[in-house]
Homo-oligomer: A and B are copies of this chain.
């Protein structure tokens, strides 16, 4: 079982150190501390275990060290920054693990950019040695990239020439879309196994600067101080601690404080229930600060995130997740009101941004989602996003047992999807006037929700049980691959962004290549890397 929880005292591959407004994340991969057997993590190469620690550090920096303005990512290994994803791990992994691994690392890198953009924690890649493949892709996720000029260090994307796969952790997209490298140069660079050294790399825009070995550390420190100085006006902030989640597990359930996951493995579906806070919580920032990670939205969404990652990595045969909520809808709306009212406070903003990231993780999860809206549920405000993120929603239509859903101001734009649109906006692409209307009306019983288009189906109480049961049976009988492809297309109508290009275009091509005999077959390049045998290609172009 893959465990997505960790903390700095348990890190085996990274060191996190804080010096005032400057944090340093140092990569020092323990080559023996692998997630699976059969490979060693040499040269700061990584597997999912290494990236789980990085993801943890990136999240903690935002909550625990909010005064940090610059995060320097560097390496403790001599002459090597990072060699990218471990090739032997990739070569021996199942297709499903490769896909899940890439998705998680992509989310981590988008999370780094989210921190730079939204939390003013600017990431700098201090490449004190060669950054190749995923190592350079990690650098590309930073806002600034500096390379040591030691006559040897280079940046490179050797996936195509050496492995017959893509730089699929955002590499190709970030080259031409984020750094806007000319496409012919990107083509040359991406087919050049040895990559480019400092001078040419700077000329082509692959890095932002370079320094000789003797001056490297000081130059990076100076640049970090410069960024901090430009942000001197920021108010002092007191971080909050993210404690381990308390999870009670049985063979077919995971029970968190506010989230409950029940697996119906024989029927290939799960119930994922989020409970509302028990009371109307205060949102007065000093009080929230004191509540820390027990404050409902932070706690509930951390639990939701963990449950989603668990489902992805450890429950591959679960094809459908029924999203449910439980509790008083007014208590959920009260949370949204507080988050909105105090959105000038760093912690309240940070919590909202975190909720948005978790909801995006849901959008990007390769499982079907049905929202089940019943009496005693509380699909309101932030929890309404669950219903909007679902592939379908079912809402009971029983006048003797009424159900309500509700919008809050946060549904307008606080939780953007990867494509930059609010889920309500994406839902009403054809009727943009309804976007305003549903925000204004706020509360909806089944009839009005159905009429305005907030839900998919509204069965009455006589049909309810059969309809839900049938819907679950029918969904879980379909081809899981066709569903993954279908949902990846239907969920992201409208605009495309840098992020959706990575998760859509780039990832889909990489997944295709990850199945091609030229990469993973007996004679494939990935299979034969580092062996005395050579790859033999079928040269038909497809």
- Tell me the complex Cα distance, A409–B43, Å: 52
Instruction: Indicate if the CB atoms of A188 and B489 lie closer than 8 Å.
Output: no
Q: Kindly state whether residue A483 has any CB partner on chain B within 8 Å.
A: yes
The chain B residue with its CB closest to the CB of A428 is B182
The chain B residue with its CB closest to the CB of A186 is B490
Q: Which of these binds chain B: A28-36, A165-173, A300-308? A: A165-173
Q: Which of these binds chain B: A74-82, A123-131, A510-518? A: A510-518
Residues of B within 8 A of A456 (CB): 184-185, 187-188
Known contacts A160-B482, A205-B430, A539 near B488 by CB under 8 Å: no
Instruction: Indicate if the CB atoms of B519 and A479 lie closer than 8 Å.
Output: yes
Instruction: Indicate if the CB atoms of B481 and A513 lie closer than 8 Å.
Output: yes
The chain B residue with its CB closest to the CB of A457 is B188
A303 to chain B, nearest CB (A): 21
Range of interface residues on A (Cβ < 8 Å): 35 or more
Q: Which of these binds chain B: A63-71, A145-153, A227-235, A314-322? A: A314-322
Q: Which of A309-327 contact B (CB under 8 A)?
A: 316-319
Q: Kindly state whether residue A344 has any CB partner on chain B within 8 Å.
A: no
Q: Kindly state whether residue A480 has any CB partner on chain B within 8 Å.
A: yes
Instruction: Indicate if the CB atoms of A176 and B512 lie closer than 8 Å.
Output: no
Q: Kindly state whether residue A491 has any CB partner on chain B within 8 Å.
A: yes
A191 to chain B, nearest CB (A): 6
Instruction: Indicate if the CB atoms of A164 and B482 lie closer than 8 Å.
Output: yes
- Tell me the complex Cα distance, A485–B186, Å: 14
A467 to chain B, nearest CB (A): 12
Q: Which of A355-406 contact B (CB under 8 A)?
A: 366-367, 390-393
Q: Which of B188, B489, B510 makes the CB contact (< 8 A) with A392?
A: B188
Instruction: Indicate if the CB atoms of B542 and A99 lie closer than 8 Å.
Output: yes
Q: Kindly state whether residue A183 has any CB partner on chain B within 8 Å.
A: yes
A458 to chain B, nearest CB (A): 12
Residues of B within 8 A of A481 (CB): 164, 512-513, 516, 518-519, 542
Q: Kindly state whether residue A9 has any CB partner on chain B within 8 Å.
A: no
Residues of B within 8 A of A494 (CB): 177
The chain B residue with its CB closest to the CB of A496 is B496
A236 to chain B, nearest CB (A): 38
A534 to chain B, nearest CB (A): 11
Can you list the 9 inter-chain pairs with the closest CB atoms, starting with the nearest? A508-B508, A164-B479, A180-B430, A496-B496, A176-B493, A485-B509, A504-B505, A172-B489, A184-B456
